[in-house]
Amino acid sequence: MPKAWNQNRKQEYYYKKAKAENYRSRAAYKLAQTANKYQFIRRNDIVVDLGAAPGGWIQVARKKVGKKGFVLGVDLKPIESFAQDYIKTIIGDLTSPFIVNQILEFLPRKADVVISDAAPNITGTWEVDQAKQIDLADQSLKISLQILRLSGNFFTKVFEGSMLNDFVKKVKKHFAIVKLLKPKASRAKSSEMFLLALDMKSNIKLVEKLSKENS
């Protein structure tokens, strides 16, 4: 059977599944599959979702954290409201120097988990797209280091390519366990991958440096 045909069938499968299960995006399954396997979002957690529109990941995270948890979604675009409570969405730019304060304003305490599916507009030029994707992942990391509690978890989209190794090395400095993953719901032919970083280590000096940069 041709590979492309199989790929289209898989995408069609997740598209229909998302419609039937009332998820706002097929991307929801990328988070659901990883979170089910690694259990890095737990009941009562506070989750911050960076690049969250239209909201599929928010829906998955909200199911995991339950009514005593809280999910904050951030995106450049407005996100349509949800039927469930304990979800808040804000318009924000991950690259803005004010974003950390903007996020912290809405959190009752530091976050347990930061998830980021933030993606740039694709230009079609491979090097440019890879660099932009790694920049957004790096920006998400920077934010995470300031809003996560000690031992918190971080999950972000990345692109395969020459810049990925350096990014993984950087994340390893801050988290005890770092894994690169390709969930089943992610297109096999796309360069998209996900990085899961568990158990943030303490790094008071870095947090102080980053908060000074933002003040």
Ligand X SMILES: C[S@@+](CC[C@H](N)C(=O)[O-])C[C@H]1O[C@@H](n2cnc3c(N)ncnc32)[C@H](O)[C@@H]1O
Q: What CA–CA distance (Å, rounded) separates 33 from 93?
A: 27
Comparison of 142 and 203: residue with beta carbon closer to ligand X: 142
Contact 147, 111 (CB under 8 A): yes
73 near ligand X, rule: CB under 6 A: no
137 near ligand X, rule: CB under 6 A: no
Q: Catalytic amino acids?
A: 157
Comparison of 54 and 69: residue with beta carbon closer to ligand X: 54
140 near ligand X, rule: CB under 6 A: no
Look at the block and give the residue holding tokens 């918190």: 152
103 near ligand X, rule: CB under 6 A: no
Among 18, 41, 47, 52, binds ligand X (CB under 6 A): 52
Comparison of 94 and 134: residue with beta carbon closer to ligand X: 94
27 near ligand X, rule: CB under 6 A: yes
54 near ligand X, rule: CB under 6 A: yes
Among 14, 29, 40, 57, binds ligand X (CB under 6 A): 57
Comparison of 50 and 145: residue with beta carbon closer to ligand X: 50
Minimum CB separation of residue 205 from ligand X in Å reads 27
Minimum CB separation of residue 142 from ligand X in Å reads 12
Among 14, 25, 34, 87, binds ligand X (CB under 6 A): 25
Q: Which two structure tokens, joined as six digits, stand for 170? A: 């950087």
Q: Give one DSSP letter per residue of 33-83, joined into a string.
A: HHHHHH--S-TT-EEEEES-TT-HHHHHHHHHH-TTSEEEEEESS-----S
34 near ligand X, rule: CB under 6 A: no
Contact 75, 52 (CB under 8 A): yes
Q: What CA–CA distance (Å, rounded) separates 6 from 4?
A: 5
- Number of alpha carbons in the 13 Å side-chain half-sphere of residue 183: 24
Comparison of 61 and 148: residue with beta carbon closer to ligand X: 61
Q: What CA–CA distance (Å, rounded) separates 131 from 160?
A: 10
Q: What CA–CA distance (Å, rounded) separates 194 from 151?
A: 19
In the complex, the residues that contact ligand X under the rule CB under 6 A are 24-25, 27-28, 51-57, 75-77, 93-95, 117-120, 136
